[in-house]
Amino acid sequence: MKSRTITVNQIGYPTTSKKIAMFTGQGGTFEVINEASEVVFRGVTSNPVKDEVSGVMVCSGDFSALTTTGKYRVRQDEAVSPMFLITEKPYQHLHHGLLKAFYYFRCGMELEEEFAGPWKHKACHTTEGIVHGQPDRRLGSFGGWHDAGDYGKYTVAAAKAVADLLLAYDLYPNAFAGPVPLPETDNLTPDVLHECRYELEWLFTMQETDSGGVFHKLTTLHFPGLDVMPEEDLADLYFSPISATATGSYAAIMAMASRVYQPFDASFAARCLKAAIHAEEWLEKHPEVESFKNPVDITTGEYGDSKDIDERYWAFCELYRTTGDDKYHHKIQKLSRQPFDKCQLGWADVGGYGTLAYLLNDETNVDRALYTELKTLFLDEANQLISRSKEDGYLISLTEDEYIWGSNMLVMNHGMILLFGYHLTGDKKYEACALDHLHYLMGRNVLDISYVTGYGEQPVMHPHHRPSVADDVVDPVPGLVAGGPDRGLHDEYVKEHLQGKAPAQCFADHEDSYSTNEVTIYWNSPAVFVVSHWVR
């Protein structure tokens, strides 16, 4: 790392927003220069403070007063920041790329040059899956998105990703007005719904027809090598056993989809609702379920989760919002008395999605006391994110112990919580803090890196993403959000290279670092949500 860096959001800043650059090392006077290297702004930084999570002395320089559209850099002595834009809507291209990433994650169809450009490849994973433990039972389960840098498909991960995209569409439909374009683009149904339907159609195949229970995942027994293209990954596919967490989040996402797709395709909406209700019936019949563990011969991602109460809560909240049926309301009233986290938006902790579904109900359909309680809880969470961000050197809310595997998901999840804070109150402090989280993701961080491939002057170049490693294209597939710093040093590469680093520096832009530099659908999806707010 350079001893002195000036970091910015490498995409840019909206014209009327607060514009801050971060300086490591000493403070003092700084300048903003335009493309012709003319000085267009002069300012003085704040006093440097030691930021423990980032491991540096850091100070900030405010150039909010600069509102002329243009391309700029911040300069201080010999140090210069990456280039950025000031314009009314700087994030449209980024939004498009983050959404297009889902197309690149598609399984089971050829990605044609017309849509995929140089990242085209043949159809993959086109054989039936074997139900684990029942060698003669094979089921078709094609399509959907690969989870990540690996080619597995996992139900709980899928549910989180689709939930974020559908929530983004729900709150910000105008952000999705234009075509991506996709093979399905018809200018009738928004492309984001076409893209999610590709995943939902696959999810239908994960539900066991008779029982309504949902298989936890569909993967090979082991991860393939890093240089294997998807169509070359020909090992047998296995359905891992049904789990309560998979079934609960499946019920929730299907109920949500039923509501969102209703205006566009009533028969698809009806299929979604039927699937949701069938899954919910399985949950009813299975009140106590052992948590999912990988069968001994399967070593792909476990997505283990010891609690299924939050998935059940989310399912009831979505079923209630979609149907208005009191029987679901009673379940929510009962379950919500239990102690579990009702604000998280993870793949394991999904209580926040349930809470949001409840808070987005028409106010005439809610239990006032419960509504107020949940709203207060949610806003308290958002307020805490703001106080933590104020104390952070890079103005984000992550505590030291939140620099975990996939920390960028937390960065964007927190952005979502803050934007819902804004939605529920209209108070701009939430919006401003959410934007600071986006600035971190796009480069205003201690490593001076844009965590989105293909976006920004210094983006991630070597993600742990099999297609990007195995194809002959220099640039990685664009629009992918990398996991980000993980202070647990969970892979061999970072164990060897990053010992003793501060939490926010525990990241390596190296293809071997699967614990910091992999990409996943559910790290992209909250980023789509957050960016949607500024392109609406």
- Residue 284 or 297: the one with the smaller Cβ distance to ligand 9MR is 297
CB of 495: closest distance to ligand 9MR in angstroms?
12
| Distance between CA atoms of residues 104 and 306, nearest Å | 32
CB of 79: closest distance to ligand 9MR in angstroms?
36
Q: Using the rule CB under 5 A, is 456 a contact of Zn ion?
A: no
Count of C-beta atoms within a 10 Å radius of residue 492: 12
Residue 230 near residue 311, CB atoms below 8 Å: no
Catalytic annotation present for 511: no
Out of 404, 416, 521, 535, the residue judged to bind ligand G3I by CB under 6 A: 404
Q: Using the rule CB under 6 A, is 467 a contact of ligand 9MR?
A: no
> What does 241 bind: ligand G3I, ligand 9MR, Zn ion, none (CB cut-off 5 to 8 Å by kind)?
none
Out of 19, 125, 217, 533, the residue judged to bind Zn ion by CB under 5 A: 125
Ordered DSSP codes for 420-466: HHHHHH--HHHHHHHHHHHHHHTT-STT--BSBTTSSSSB----B-H
3-class secondary-structure state, position 95: helix
Tell me whether the omega of the peptide bond preceding residue 478 falls within 30 degrees of 0, making it cis.
no
Count of C-beta atoms within a 10 Å radius of residue 86: 22
Residue 116 near residue 103, CB atoms below 8 Å: yes
Q: Considering only residues 214-253, where is the footprint of Zn ion by CB under 5 A?
A: 230
* Closest to 454 measured CA to CA, from 446, 445, 463: 463
- Residue 464 or 501: the one with the smaller Cβ distance to ligand 9MR is 464
Q: Considering only residues 293-332, where is the footprint of ligand G3I by CB under 6 A?
A: 301-302
Catalytic annotation present for 509: yes
- Residue 490 or 497: the one with the smaller Cβ distance to ligand G3I is 490
DSSP 15: T
Q: Using the rule CB under 6 A, is 150 a contact of ligand 9MR?
A: yes
Q: Using the rule CB under 6 A, is 301 a contact of ligand 9MR?
A: yes
- Residue 108 or 483: the one with the smaller Cβ distance to ligand 9MR is 483
Q: Using the rule CB under 6 A, is 514 a contact of ligand 9MR?
A: yes
Distances, alpha carbon 210 to alpha carbons 206, 267, 449, in Å: 12, 21, 49
Q: Quick one: the chain helix, strand, coil %, rounded to 5? A: 40, 15, 45
Q: Using the rule CB under 5 A, is 124 a contact of Zn ion?
A: yes
CB of 420: closest distance to ligand G3I in angstroms?
21
Q: Considering only residues 78-107, where is the footprint of Zn ion by CB under 5 A?
A: 107
* Closest to 516 measured CA to CA, from 437, 407, 401, 397: 407
Q: Using the rule CB under 6 A, is 151 a contact of ligand 9MR?
A: no
Q: Considering only residues 211-270, where is the footprint of ligand 9MR by CB under 6 A?
A: 223, 226
Kindly list the residues in this chain that would bind ligand G3I in the complex (CB under 6 A): 147-148, 150, 152, 301-302, 401, 404-406, 488, 490, 514, 518, 520
Provide the binding-site residues for ligand 9MR, judged by CB under 6 A. Answer: 148-150, 223, 226, 301, 514, 518
